[in-house]
Amino acid sequence: MYLDERKKRILQAVVQDYIATAEPVGSRTLARKYNLGVSPATIRNEMADLEEMGLLEQPHTSAGRIPSDLGYRYYVDYLMEKTHLTAEEQDFIVQSLATKLQAVEELIARTSEVLSAMTNLTGLALGPQWAGSVILYIELLPLVPEKAILLVVTNMGTIQHRFLEIPDEITARDLAVISEVLTRHLRGLTLERLSRAALRDIRDELAAYRRVVGLVLEAVEDAIGGGRAERIYLGGTLNILNQPEFRRDLAKVKDILNVLETEHLLRQLLLEEAGGTLAIRIGGENRAFNMPYCSIVTASYRVGDRVMGAIGLLGPTRMEYARAVATIEFMSSFLSEMLAHFYR
């Protein structure tokens, strides 16, 4: 779509003003606030042309204009000025993600919170995919009489745990023996390569503990199976509901809450672009759900050439796209660096 320079400047001004104020933008406002070099009447005519082209909309006959999805798309693709996080903002992210984090799940959960804090939008993070992860060790620890905890640790830094009841005659020493046998048979296997034969060998070697070994192996299989579905982490869930366009529209609030509470929709939302780099989907471009008044910015994070998961920011179509892009780009890059330490 061709726009001359005047139309580009006017469209850019409308988008920027509406992002900042959440109020329809009129020609007099543009003439007063932006150095466009033309009269309000000329601006008004140009805005009418932009509306005919589908780039602007007029919500009410007496109101100013607001950008359409197509207008936002043109702005993002051709007019948006790239910004960068300040050194202080980058330091905040580094300190938030690099301090006292012991496992990948903790890192990803914290990422969603920092995304939200940086943008006042809702942060999304898709946990690492378990496919290809390798078991490092399995440990059974006593908790209280007749109860223990099973830990399955992988090279990805993920720790799956399950609680189980054990016979009262099973001691801490017995649990250590069982842990050693499990680790010896399963260490170095990917989750996909676990075989019934390996589990059968474990049962044979632990025949003396047959009263508990069945429970333990069920817990191992459950822990591993439970880790296959990548977990979704949310940060700042209520931020999107605090946006002016949603405060008085209960139907939109209900739709948003339904999506945020439906994990498979969020997973689909992030997985759509998880194999690529940065993606911006505006309003009706979102295929995962019917919320034409929301946009999402996503990017994958990876270790080497392998895509591990994705992060995103969900907000109104009026979101500050340049800020969201700068935040997502920096955090996906830093997150990839952090994960290299867990996956080496």
Q: Are residues 320 and 239 in the same domain?
A: yes
Shortest CA distance to 329 belongs to which of 300, 308, 302, 295?
300
Where among 191, 226, 261 does a domain terminate? Answer: 226
Amino acid code (one letter) for 317: T
Q: Are residues 293 and 218 in the same domain?
A: no
Residues 6+ apart with CB under 8 A from 290: 255
At 256-276, the pLDDT tens digits run 888 888 888 888 778 765 556
Where among 180, 201, 226 does a domain terminate? Answer: 226
Q: Are residues 258 and 328 in the same domain?
A: yes
Q: Are residues 181 and 326 in the same domain?
A: no
SS3 200: helix
Q: Are residues 337 and 212 in the same domain?
A: no
Shortest CA distance to 342 belongs to which of 158, 186, 95, 210?
158
How high is the pLDDT of residue 287? 73
Where among 15, 44, 79 does a domain terminate? Answer: 79
How high is the pLDDT of residue 65? 94
At 163-193, the pLDDT tens digits run 888 888 888 998 999 999 989 988 887 666 6
Amino acid code (one letter) for 156: M
Q: Are residues 109 and 252 in the same domain?
A: yes
Q: Are residues 45 and 165 in the same domain?
A: no
User: Could you identify the residue written with the tokens 């759900």?
Assistant: 289
> Which residue range is the domain that position 123 belongs to?
87-129+230-343
Q: Are residues 221 and 234 in the same domain?
A: no
Predicted structure pTM score:
0.76
CA distance 146 to 149: 11
Tell me the CATH number at 160.
Answer: 3.30.390
Length of the chain: 344
Tokens linked to 122: 């809702």
Tokens linked to 124: 């999304």
Q: Are residues 121 and 155 in the same domain?
A: no
Total count of domains within the chain: 3
Q: Are residues 27 and 158 in the same domain?
A: no
Tell me the CATH number at 50.
Answer: 1.10.10.10
Amino acid code (one letter) for 230: E
Q: Are residues 39 and 100 in the same domain?
A: no
How high is the pLDDT of residue 228? 52
Tokens linked to 117: 């804090």
Amino acid code (one letter) for 266: L
DSSP helix, strand, coil percent of the chain (3-state; round to 5): 50, 20, 30
How high is the pLDDT of residue 92? 94
Tell me the CATH number at 316.
Answer: 3.30.450.40
Q: Are residues 257 and 298 in the same domain?
A: yes
CA distance 178 to 209: 8
